[in-house]
Amino acid sequence: MAGSVESKLASLGIVLPTPAAPVANYVAFVRSGNQLVVSGQLCFGADAKLVAKGQLGGGVSLEDGQKAARACAVNLLAQVKAAVGDLDKIVRVVRLGGFINSAAGFTDGPKVMNGASDLMVEVFGDKGRHARSTVGVAALPADAAVEVEGLFEVGA
């Protein structure tokens, strides 16, 4: 039986994908005590294709960037589930870090990251409110528009 977080995801029409395997010399997540750090997740959708490819402020619209950030957040949650088995064990979303593939002069990265932040609040309520950093970068792996990493507090 699905817990309350997975029930909330289902009500939003979200099915967690199989978590992506690391593509280099790192692991998808590290748990230390009650902290879970999840490596950056790209904006792959349910079809295993990038939700948005290219640069914000170039060929990618703000709305598509927000959809890409939301997809990253879904992929973060898939990694969290793989790490702890039950999303109801999440005590708090502590921090998200966003990397926005940005054309020169693009300054709306924080608005793009709202796609990920909004999902965490939708799913976890007040426990989903988190600290955040957003950084514009010149390129991301696979020319993804967005990458998001996360830090979560895990209960017993």
The pLDDT of residue 95 is above 90: yes
Q: Of 70, 61, 21, 20, give the one whose Cα is nearest residue 43.
A: 70
- What band does 2 get if pLDDT is binned at 50, 70 and 90? low
Cα separation of 52 and 64, whole Å? 6
- Cα torsion through 102, 106, 110, 112, rounded to 10: -60
Please report the domains of the chain, with CATH numbers, ordered by start residue.
Answer: 26-154 (3.30.1330.40)
Mean pLDDT of 6-17: 95
pLDDT tens track for 28-69: 999 999 999 999 999 999 999 999 999 999 999 999 999 999
Q: What is the pTM of this model?
A: 0.96
For the chain, count helices (H), then strands (E).
Answer: 3, 5
**pLDDT (0 to 100) of residue 156:** 78
Cα separation of 148 and 83, whole Å? 17
